[in-house]
Amino acid sequence: MTVCSAPGKVYLFGEHAVVYGEPAVPAAIERRARVTVEPRADDRVRVTAEDLSLDGFTVEYGGSTGGRPNVDVPTPLVEAAMGYVDAAVRQARSAADAPDAGFDITVESDIPLGAGLGSSAAVVVAGIDAATRALDEPLDRRDLADRAYRAEFEVQDGQASRADTFCSTMGGAVRVEGDDCEPIDAPNLPFVIGFDGGAGDTGALVAGVRERRERYRFAADTVRSIGDIVRAGEELLAGAVPEADPSRELLAELGDLMDFNHGLLAALGVSARSLDAMVWAARDAGAHGAKLTGAGGGGCIVALDPDTETPTALSFTQGCEAAFRAELATEGVRVEAP
């Protein structure tokens, strides 16, 4: 039995624009998906998702990847989750040159599904790592990140960047621009997350941005402007002391850029009433900045606030199901049991 875990992430800056070659800076957070893999004597795959939860958001099902799980969450989310596990299995089989390898797989996660916190990337990264280790063919981190990206790319019909999977593999903050992925230093940012209890359809949201970008020159300019925000954010991070508490001035400057980034994402059509409400509640409570994180359409926002006001205000905001603080996860994927 091999158990690996991998963290979720928030986007400090740059989601969506990263799909078109602009840079992005995601940061891993201490919410993890854990995948347990036991090789089988036959070529079948059995998946059990024991607890994909975040305060009242629970899925329980079991069965082969071809079966219909019995769950109380929207079927598209479950189908999406199963699609990612299937793609991870294909990558692990191919990496280990074991096309007929069968597995019993258990997924547990405290990252809400499809909510912008990188749940699918964490499951895919932890799943490929655990399955290849179970077959005695462990991958180095760069190869693992690459395999995980290919799995996401396949499930998302070719509309995925390397950002989520690279960040989940490496941990900490990373910079991604096309195929160029590097860990970067970051201070200890005081992330606060607000979750509306819902999820966006990543494929549809990415397709919507693509359509607007192709149709309107100003939408293409908006995507480029997000790239400018990311470059400005990177400069700020490069001047900060790694892993130390950031100054109020730095938080204010990063927060300004996050606010700007949210406005541009809203202009591209990927925000939602619930996300805007949480963003404004955070700002009104004194957060240094707030933006949606991930594909949008529903799910989570991320704000910067070292004090207690923002989580408290979010917990009283209509439409906010959960508000919590998230630590930067300095460790990426890791083996929990060999």
Give the nearer residue to ligand MEV in terms of CB position, either 134 or 257: 257
How far is it, in rounded angstroms, from Cα 226 to Cα 297? 18
Q: Minimum Å distance from CB 89 to ligand MEV?
A: 21
- Judged by CB under 6 A, the stretch of 67-75, 158-166, 167-175, 183-191 that binds ligand MEV is 158-166
Locate 310 and state its tokens.
Answer: 């923002």
By CB under 6 A, tell whether 16 contacts ligand MEV.
yes
By CB under 6 A, tell whether 261 contacts ligand MEV.
no
Binding mask 21-60 for ligand MEV (x = CB under 6 A): ----------------------------------------
How far is it, in rounded angstroms, from Cα 12 to Cα 196? 19
Q: 193 to 222, contacts with ligand MEV by CB under 6 A? A: 202, 206
Q: Minimum Å distance from CB 283 to ligand MEV?
A: 23
By CB under 6 A, tell whether 115 contacts ligand MEV.
no
Residue from 164, 196, 259, 305 carrying the catalytic annotation: 164
By CB under 6 A, tell whether 164 contacts ligand MEV.
yes
- Select the residue interacting with ligand MEV from 10, 19, 73, 145 (CB under 6 A): 19
- Select the residue interacting with ligand MEV from 6, 33, 295, 333 (CB under 6 A): 295
Concatenating the DSSP letter of every residue in 292-332 gives E-TT-SSSEEEEE-SSSHHHHHHHTSTT--EEEEE-B----
- Judged by CB under 6 A, the stretch of 10-18, 131-139, 302-310, 323-331 that binds ligand MEV is 10-18
In angstroms, the Cα distances linking 65 to 103, 127, 258, 260 are: 11, 14, 39, 42
By CB under 6 A, tell whether 161 contacts ligand MEV.
yes
Please, are residues 7 and 32 in contact by the beta-carbon 8 Å criterion? yes
- Select the residue interacting with ligand MEV from 111, 160, 257, 292 (CB under 6 A): 160
How far is it, in rounded angstroms, from Cα 75 to Cα 78? 5
How far is it, in rounded angstroms, from Cα 20 to Cα 224? 9
Concatenating the DSSP letter of every residue in 134-193 gives HTT-PPPHHHHHHHHHHHHHHHTTT---SHHHHHHHH-SEEEEETTEEEEE------EEE
Please, are residues 178 and 18 in contact by the beta-carbon 8 Å criterion? no
Does the annotation count 143 as an active-site position?
no
Q: Minimum Å distance from CB 40 to ligand MEV?
A: 32
Cα 192 → chain centroid: 15
Locate 148 and state its tokens.
Answer: 């995980």
Q: Which residues are catalytic?
A: 164
User: By the criterion CB under 6 A, which residues form the site for ligand MEV?
Assistant: 15-16, 18-19, 160-161, 163-164, 202, 206, 294-295
